[in-house]
Chains A and B, each alone.
Chain A
């Protein structure tokens, strides 16, 4: 089998280099040609290689070609190779395919931005980094890709660097991601210390002792949780919505955040060695799914609703992987990439049409003006709510089925709880998605009638944020009259339509066993057998029960949303008095708590330590040594401000400790 992945890697890199160096001077057409071209060719090559892979026998579908020989010291050697197997192929297609659609869409969304070249350069860089992450064949280069996607995400979240909030969000994302990188690094060191290898082939074949396997897997999962925004490291993702919406769609919904799901699937032989780690994966996934869905119920910013929804759906994927059904997790990853990218791009279209408005309270009635966006958004909402026969139904169903299967096979009551969480979350998902949908499209337009109080609040908020914003970006919210709202240009609506089609048919790559076609499961049979072989089987009857319940939950959610918001979204001010509402609305006050518990003390410690050691605190009464210099030139008088004494004291202290230690040895 041929391995074109190196070219898939190099093309976006070239695009990034050319745009980064010369994009500033290029006309719009040239920027788009290079930006789209690099990603498009990468997708084309991936697709060609995919067809080539389909035509080879299953046993020969994995190809690992060494590209670069990096370190060789004694017994330790390290190569960088491109590993192309069905798993990385699937990821590659999703990354470049969805990436291409979002590249196309961005041309419309970012049309007025003076930083267009920069944007496409970053996008190409992200594609490069993500491809590197996916095709790396050693843990070390996985780490490099892992770090680089974090950097790309940092650059793109902070793309509108004129906004202080965007820069703060970018930093937060980066720092939390670094915690993940730290986990990955420690895992890698542990792997290396125990097995002496870093390449997937040798490490995944290695049997670790029980405790070590658990430690490695848990450290890996720390990395996954940070990258994929799982509890307790999810805080950065909602803030990351400060970035341009296409970025949210590409990086923070469809591809980068799923890197954690990919990593667990990639290292599944390790996870299979540790039932504890798998239980943690499943548990964290389930709790995150429910937790994030509950926050999404009350958010007012449409992008934030989608962000929490993403966190919740990622939780589903980990749930599947936690019950050995890695293929199910990947399946949901693929369908989620379709419909979540669709929803984000749809939200972007709405924001674009409304001149930067993101608040649900100022929307409504857009069905009449934004027909294409409306229809595609409805398809996306139906898909994520798990309504048959759209993509989300199949993948979510498979996940819930395998959780129930694990429950019945193991008899452990916690898996039943997990399953119930899954069903409840499905209902919540349907509810908040249709709350969002009705809020945007149903009822009458509320943008013109924003109350004075709300308006004032917004002005104040803007002052807090940053009043100095001058450059472009969808920052200045202009209140647009209903009649002035227009459907987005073709360049934006085409990707919406394509993604909508994929969201409808995408589920059929999954298993149709439920409907009497047990032989039909293209994705599962394409993926390596290790990714689903360990999953428990579910009798057809139970499968029907699980499916029926999740479908029922979905329909119930939609129905409730219709009951409350079908006539239009009314923001009920009396809800503000409700403590439970406040708790959820403020995202359980996690950010505030984190600041109080972690950020402030560390900063204070650093400052305090500096102050103490630099001598400000002791400054007042100190004369001592400085007296010696008294009366000399003005220069020396600077020295006698007392610091020298403190410094000398510090040194003396150190000397005494060290000498006393040595003396005690003697």
Chain B
């Protein structure tokens, strides 16, 4: 059998944002080659200027954003390349979320890279853009082949990004764990895809949908069922649903904070979009088979995620569990999308993601300014009294945490409200009740961190020196005679000695680095503050403005599910 398909310009138009991103990846790497290096050119040196590459990457993201927005307004096909990838409004909306998350992630990076002196910027930004590319592909995919290609592109990029801090064992460990466990998930997913291909003879969603609809009579055959089971596992892993959540806290904690900020949103968008397409649309005719499983996973994730976040004393881990819990809320949307209210479920997911985007990136963004090279600086004890040392940072973090807790005026409330509304409309009031109860539990752990920041630190009230990073709140340790000279020599780095004295906090941490840290810098922080400003603005207004476009989002979701 021969198959011919001639590519038309319309096809390229449909994937224009992705094309732009890929071109910008190449451009970023070329610019990296041309930039003058600091000192001798070797594998341990990088461009001297920390501002050029992020700006190039940012231009790439902005261009992709511009193209995506332009596509909304011009005539464009609903799908491209013979139904391989969607380019309908729902897909474009998901692109927007991913690109904004990526843009904010890039904005948060330069100050962080500079402060931690991570020199391989060219790779960093190229990988960020590649990760975005992969996420766009997976979010837009309407064919299993593209789902898998997108998944692998962004996963591979993220493995490297997670282990980017070569001197931090936790970062290496994060990349390693993510890689290993993610490989399981990819294997399951791929196996599931092949079983479904075996059962139906197709890989395109729309073909499978019509095949299943005509052949299954509301109940799937065993081969298809097994394929569905494996798909469920694969997707659940990517949205870090319980019981496949175990990698999340370690990876989120070990990875560089800007990467965590970006991936916590991006992977969720990509995976949920594919999830909702595959289950809400493609397998909608056999929903009775998969719904109980997804329902169970959603409930388990909501409850366990919130419960486990309760005991955390490290804000990055707490946020990791909180993101698991939020993933659970989002799964409500998947359940509803199978319950006859398909577009409401999908639109609730899109709406919630656009809300979650700003508050979560904001919270991780604040952490990126607190984090030190040895992956400390954001323990509960170290946050104590942050309000006195840096009221802006503490205020912003408190603001984002309140938003995550779902407090009324902010965006978290609007998102939860619509999601729970969807649960009610979709005929799942029990999910609504579980969701609300769990969010009440959630308030407790967010508040715990907020309250701590406003408590007086043991040495908190005195202002810290300009050279220190914000998070310095550690108890004064007795200075041993051997260390005293260092201390006198470098007064600004007084925290350095303390770093070496610090006991191991949690188990993920590794032997403490004894090398002395270079003096933390605050250059380029305006970019981080810009990102935080955008996130704060988004957190404040999106929940008020977006409801105006709710019918549009619902329409977009309808297109997505077709």
Contact = CB atoms under 8 A, between A and B. Distances in A.
Given A162-B456, A602-B310, A635 B172 contact: yes
A97 to B, nearest CB: 26
B551 A74 contact: yes
Nearest to B307: A606
A654 B229 CA distance: 10
A613 B304 CA distance: 10
Interface string B97-123: 000000000000000000000000000
A609 B304 contact: yes
B472 to A, nearest CB: 18
B408 A662 contact: no
Interface stretch (B7-15, B55-63, B84-92, B440-448): B440-448
B507 A641 contact: yes
Nearest to A183: B436
Nearest to A599: B444
A574 interface: no
B181 A178 contact: no
Interface stretch (B152-160, B241-249, B361-369, B494-502): B241-249
Given A170-B451, A658-B233, A666-B220, A606 B311 contact: yes
Interface string A626-666: 00000000111011010110111011011100110111011
B293 A661 contact: yes
A562 interface: no
A175 B447 CA distance: 9
Given A609-B308, A614-B246, A651-B243, A158 B451 contact: yes
B432 interface: yes
Contacts of B424: 189, 192-193
Interface string B407-423: 11100000000001100
A179 interface: yes
B228 interface: yes
Nearest to B169: A638
Interface in A33-85: 70-74
A98 to B, nearest CB: 25
B512 interface: no
A471 B387 CA distance: 14
B545 to A, nearest CB: 10
B232 interface: yes
A613 B233 CA distance: 18
Contacts of B170: 638
B59 to A, nearest CB: 34
A167 B226 contact: no
B5 to A, nearest CB: 34
Contacts of A646: 246
Contact of A468 (B244, B290, B321, B458): B458
B408 A148 contact: yes
A578 interface: no
A644 B180 contact: yes
Given A651-B237, A665-B289, A72 B456 contact: no
Given A182-B436, A609-B308, A171 B448 contact: yes
A658 B293 contact: yes
B554 interface: yes
Interface residues of A, number: 65
B455 A161 contact: yes
Contacts of A185: 436
Contacts of A602: 307, 310, 441
Nearest to A175: B444
A111 to B, nearest CB: 22
A73 B554 contact: yes
Contact of A659 (B230, B407, B436, B455): B230
Interface in B223-259: 225-226, 228-230, 232-233, 236-237, 242-247, 249-250
A638 B448 CA distance: 31
A143 B444 CA distance: 19
A639 B177 contact: yes
B176 A635 contact: yes
Given A193-B424, A636-B176, A648 B184 contact: yes
A161 B452 CA distance: 9
Contact of A647 (B226, B247, B458, B461): B247
A644 B222 CA distance: 32
A143 B181 CA distance: 43
A242 to B, nearest CB: 13
A649 to B, nearest CB: 9
Given A162-B456, A174-B447, A634-B169, A663 B225 contact: yes
13 contacts: A73-B550, A175-B444, A189-B420, A468-B458, A470-B461, A605-B307, A606-B309, A610-B311, A639-B176, A658-B229, A665-B220, A665-B289, A666-B222
Interface of B: 169-170, 172-173, 176-177, 180-181, 184, 188, 219-222, 225-226, 228-230, 232-233, 236-237, 242-247, 249-250, 289-290, 292-293, 304, 307-312, 321, 407-409, 420-421, 424, 429, 432-433, 436-437, 440-441, 443-444, 447-448, 451, 454-456, 458, 461, 507, 510, 544, 547-548, 550-551, 554
Interface of A: 70-74, 143-144, 147-148, 151, 158, 161-162, 164, 167, 170-171, 174-175, 178-179, 181-182, 185-186, 189, 192-193, 468, 470-471, 602-603, 605-607, 609-611, 613-614, 616, 634-636, 638-639, 641, 643-644, 646-648, 650-651, 653-655, 658-659, 661-663, 665-666
Given A182-B436, A655-B233, 5 more contacts: A167-B455, A470-B461, A611-B311, A651-B184, A666-B220
